[in-house]
Amino acid sequence: MTTLLPARLVGGLAVYDLGTGPPVLVMPNPQGMVRTSEASGPLTDAMLALGRRVVTFDPPGAFASVRPPRLGLPEMLAGTSDALRATGITGPVDLVGHSQATLCQLAWALAAPHKVRRMVLVGAVDGGWRATRRMHGMPWRWPVTDRRFWRFARLAGPLAVGRGDLRRLKRFQRFFVEESFVDRELVPPVPIEPGDAHRPPPARARWQASVRHVDLRP
């Protein structure tokens, strides 16, 4: 994947404006598990290949964004509003997103329904950890007697409360990705660099904890 430069910085938020054609906002994934900007990710590539103009942004504190992260849905809704305004999109627009980005899409549709034309939600969630448990996501896909359940909890627990280091986060990423693939030969590598044990994880690693009480089902 190619690293792209943002079209502009809007109050410290890196906004991308790529391609031509009907606009689509690719909602960035807000969690700290993401290893590349949404601007160079597969959803953006797919939209560009379909002849769409892609607008997206780096969440606060991630990649090219220098806006301080606050975590939670309000910061992602503010980022969406800033990205659309910076790129001159005023009418209803299509939205595409994956995983935790779909929670932000749903929240945006509820907050500003007149700005949403259509949505595609890939692997959608409607809330925080309760939604993950209800839909049997990790670690709830395994019984508590399964060692993978406890490995997940052991790796993720400290990260959720702002502890641990970058090495722990990458170990968690590696475990999460490996368990997400049936064909292990397709698993992308998660390299652990020398010195990661002495580096802090990104603030966005606490995203899941920030939305633990969110429930958009009503």
pLDDT in tens, 34-78: 778 999 999 999 999 999 999 999 999 999 999 999 999 999 999
Q: What is the 3-state secondary structure (H, E, C) of 24-77?
A: EEECCCCCCCCCCCHHHCHHHHHHHHCCCEEEEECCCCCCCCCCCCCCCHHHHH
pLDDT at 3 over 80: no
Amino acid at 197: A
Q: Give SS3 for 10.
A: strand
Domains defined for the chain, CATH in brackets: 8-122 (3.40.50.1820), 129-210 (no CATH)
- Model confidence over 74-93: pLDDT tens digits? 999 999 999 999 999 999 99
> Exposed e or buried b for every residue in 141-169, given b needs 16+ CB within 10 A?
ebeeeeeebebbeebbebbbeeebbbbbb
Euclidean distance between CA atoms 78 and 159, whole angstroms? 25
Closest CA to 13 of 50, 68, 51, 54: 68
**Preceding amide of 28 cis, omega within 30:** no
Residue in the block written with tokens 């606060």: 60
Q: Looking at the DSSP assignment, which residues form a beta bridge with residue 96? A: 26, 120
The reply to whether the predicted model has a pTM over 0.85 is yes
Closest CA to 212 of 151, 137, 129, 144: 129
Q: Which residue has the higher pLDDT, 68 or 6?
A: 68
Amino acid at 63: F
Looking at residue 1, what is its pLDDT?
46
Cβ-based burial of 9 (10 A; exposed 0-12, middle 13-18, buried ≥19): middle
Q: In this structure, what are the phi and psi dihedrals at residue 188, rounded to the nearest 5 degrees?
A: -70, 145
